[in-house]
Structure 1
Amino acid sequence: MTLVLAFRDVGTPDLARRGLTPASAPPAVLLLDVEADLSVDDDGRTVWSEPAFPVAELARELALRLRLPAEERTDFAFDSMTYDVPGAVRIAATGDGWRVGSVFAPDAWSSPCPWPVPARALTAFTDSVRTRVAALGADPHLVPAAARPATAASANGTPCR
């Protein structure tokens, strides 16, 4: 099973209008203005996608979430300053494993998987966004480093369904 949070066409389209650059913009502005086309893909199937998504804000929240110990791990609903409702990206535990989806496509979810599978996908996403933030000229610490996910062995060989 391959779960991917993919993004492309990263940019800061509103900064110039505000007279700012990635190096001069305050962190709160950058979190909203670093945008990209985002998709959640499950084995080549697009579960959900959204253009001009605040990927830095999402990556920051996910990186902080990935640092939580297992006993504090609960469902996640991305509560962005960009959207009126929380859950543009949702991560939910089910009896069969963890799934990723969006409130904007309530019936579309990734396949359920043991936690290490989404954890690796989320960590890869946060690492990539952090790299792109730095390439734009902003402080890479805007997106903190995520905790390293558990190894595949910790999934106990349980496949995604």
Structure 2
Amino acid sequence: MDSLDAIDRNLLKLLRLNARMSNAALAAEVGLSPSACLRRIRLLEEGGVIRGYTVLLDSRQSEGSIAVIINITLERQTEEYLNRFEAAVRRHPEIKECFLMTGGSDYLLKVEVENAGEFERIHKEILSALPGVLRIHSSFSIRNVLATRSKGRR
């Protein structure tokens, strides 16, 4: 998608706050007809601006799930190394999030596991096998203090 106008940006803001908002409510908020609003949303989806929708779970309700935050340092930071690493990460659904970082490590990854044994398997079979990895530093979360949809909760 080339560029977003004010209506597109407003639609994205509203959807980030509540992705389950009805099309009629979205249309009313941004001043479009329901059909024009739906067409805009479809274009945002097809253009890759909206890549999907998700559910935020209360960590107390998702029993046994432990978030592990992993800092990855690559052997080299060339475009070739970055591209190979990112392509490999995308092939593993166990990796829930991946961020290219500034600072001490090159990437920050998030995985969710049921126990240390499951993480050991992911570490051996996936993380250690990712191309160009020099160092892996993992931290287990104690609990999730804050997970937001954007600027606030409704």
- TM-score after normalising by structure 2: 0.26
Q: As a proportion of its length, which structure holds more strand?
A: 1
Q: Normalized against structure 1, the TM-score is what? A: 0.25
**Higher Rg:** 2
